[in-house]
Amino acid sequence: MSFREILERCNHTELYQMCVDQGIPVSAALTQEQLIECYLGEMDVPPNERHDVDTWRIGIMGFLLDHWEVVKAQLECPAKSGDPKACFGCTDAMVLSCVLDNEPNEELIQLKRRREPWIQRR
């Protein structure tokens, strides 16, 4: 059985989460086949299909990396790794909660938001 055949047995939610866990900024609106293709690197994620919360993920990590020496000891989440893709492993609710919990820095986070991530996939 090929890896693709194994992926084809996964449901939509599992495929979506696998992509998110790998830092692939997909939208849940993609089909199962499109998610498989994105996961395997056979298809680039269409810019208009990127999830809007991903811009917040990018903004949070951009802000954290800019202020790394000050914030690294305070972090208790995957961002503690310093990996620019760390927030892609968090649920959308966690990302939004992070922004709300850091309201005083929201403007600085906003400055780092981008539709196109600066990170490279695999």
Q: What are the domain boundaries of the chain?
A: 3-49, 52-112
pTM comes to 0.60
- Residues in Cβ contact with 9 at an 8 Å cutoff, skipping those fewer than 6 apart: none
Look at residue 26 in the predicted model and tell me its pLDDT. Answer: 81
Look at residue 115 in the predicted model and tell me its pLDDT. Answer: 55
Q: Which residues of 60-95 are buried (b: 16+ CB within 10 A; e: fewer)?
A: bbbbbbeeeeebeeeeeeebeeeebbbbbbbeeeeb
pLDDT in tens for each of the 122 residues of the chain? 899 999 999 999 899 889 887 878 787 788 999 999 999 999 887 665 556 788 898 899 999 999 999 999 999 999 999 988 888 878 888 899 999 999 999 999 998 887 555 454 33
What angle is formed at CA 44 by the lines to CA 113 and CA 17, rounded to 5 degrees? 70
Look at residue 48 in the predicted model and tell me its pLDDT. Answer: 59
